[in-house]
A and B are shown apart, each in its own frame.
Chain A
């Protein structure tokens, strides 16, 4: 076991990890952070997506030891007090959530996109979520939600 320190959703964390552990395993099983989901467990479905240093990555194949000294944001870190993040609100307003399993990952991929690109086209949105699989919605509402949120995010 080995100790690492990092920032999780704005709070400084110290945790003991197994050096071959994934970030997803550490978040869910050691820290009780259940927003990131385990779907495929091998980088293909995007359900486990989190932000490391503002970039969307697959936590299931991301070594836990890598985040030592870095900043990690999960879906739990987006809400500001009572206020949902504009992307979260847009997913609700446009009906982009069905079972919700893919939603945390989708929203964080969308956040990576909108943080780096304020006015993406629908094609750019499609590409930005190409690493996130949704078995329920057929994607159109998700794309609507991200397009809708891009208007709010670019205002703020």
Chain B
């Protein structure tokens, strides 16, 4: 039985509310996942702690070495943010395609993580960006890798009755680029048929590090590590690149969905989508050569 809807004015107040209810309250951000669940009577809580009025969670800070994005930043704000457009292209593109205008006005990045949907657009993009997740809980603040925040399908390691995700911290690597692609049946529809993100940056020793992310596969955005290794040797001819992508994606197990298409259909879309994004990634690197531009 829910007793109270509490609006926190600061992070300290939000934590006080959660501590007071000792695990029987639940964090609410944009509510775009939570309130669908509420209607289906899936959510058990004695109080809701709304964090959308907490200014500390709504900032985007940029320094020489990193961008720190508050967990309460909405997808609408992400799409419009000039620093994100300039430095984190994959995230900006994901924000552009995510949901409808109304959903983007409400939905936050923090909720996109804690809902733990494998194809959540914001988190697919984040997975290509070498991100760290910052949070606060009863034991103080801590940082986790993105992957370690997922428990199983639709379940997060983050306990939103006791912990609050505060920010996503993304290092500004040298010569970094990232892109995002998505295939959906109708724009503004919940979750895509397939989405993917790619990212690459130059390490201190001059070699390249890359990330190829595909979803939905498994219970979190899937990093295609074997394909990263296979493509680490340098630029390939376009046909050879396509064949390499196809070979790696062929080995993956996709789910058949009544709404979002058969496993075979998804596999074919995945190859096309990944190929398009890797072409964008490599082509831009070639164009910009040894410039010291970031992301």
Q: A and B from one assembly?
A: yes
Residues of B within 8 A of A64 (CB): 5
Query: Is chain B's binding surface mostly helix, strand, loop or mixed?
Result: mixed
A128 to B105, CA, bound (A): 12
The answer, yes or no, to whether B101 is at the interface (CB within 8 Å) is: yes
Which residues of chain B in 160-199 are interfacial with respect to chain A, using CB atoms and an 8 Å cutoff?
Answer: 187-190
A61 to B28, CA, bound (A): 12
Would you call B2 and A63 a contact (CB within 8 A)? no
The answer, yes or no, to whether A56 is at the interface (CB within 8 Å) is: yes
Among B4, B43, B103, the residue within 8 A (CB) of A131 is: B103
Shortest Cβ gap from A1 to chain B (Å): 9
Stretch of A38-46, A74-82, A85-93, A141-149 at the chain-chain interface: A38-46
Residues of B within 8 A of A55 (CB): 76, 105
Shortest Cβ gap from A33 to chain B (Å): 18
Shortest Cβ gap from B192 to chain A (Å): 14
The answer, yes or no, to whether B99 is at the interface (CB within 8 Å) is: yes
A127 to B96, CA, bound (A): 10
Question: Known interface pairs A44-B190, A62-B31, A63-B31. Does A131 touch B99 (Cβ–Cβ under 8 Å)?
Answer: yes
Residues of B within 8 A of A65 (CB): 5, 7, 48, 50
The answer, yes or no, to whether A150 is at the interface (CB within 8 Å) is: no
The answer, yes or no, to whether B207 is at the interface (CB within 8 Å) is: no
Would you call B106 and A57 a contact (CB within 8 A)? yes
The answer, yes or no, to whether B64 is at the interface (CB within 8 Å) is: no
Would you call B7 and A130 a contact (CB within 8 A)? no
Count, chain A residues at interface, CB 8 A: 33
Residues of B within 8 A of A131 (CB): 99-103, 188
Residues of A within 8 A of B47 (CB): 19
A50: nearest chain-B partner, CB-CB: B102
Max chain B Cβ within 10 angstroms of own Cβ: one of A18, A58, A61? A61
A153 to B2, CA, bound (A): 43
Interface residues on B, range: 20 to 34
Would you call A127 and B31 a contact (CB within 8 A)? no
A57 to B31, CA, bound (A): 11
A63: nearest chain-B partner, CB-CB: B31
Residues of A within 8 A of B239 (CB): none
Shortest Cβ gap from B266 to chain A (Å): 21
Would you call B100 and A46 a contact (CB within 8 A)? yes
Among A56, A66, A68, the residue within 8 A (CB) of B102 is: A56
Question: Known interface pairs A61-B32, A61-B35. Does A49 touch B102 (Cβ–Cβ under 8 Å)?
Answer: yes
Which residues of chain B in 1-41 are interfacial with respect to chain A, using CB atoms and an 8 Å cutoff?
Answer: 2-5, 7, 28, 31-32, 35-36, 38-39
Contacts beyond the supplied A42-B39, A63-B50: 16 A-B pairs with Cβ under 8 Å: A4-B5, A18-B2, A19-B2, A20-B2, A20-B43, A41-B39, A43-B36, A44-B189, A49-B102, A57-B102, A58-B32, A58-B103, A62-B35, A65-B48, A109-B101, A130-B100
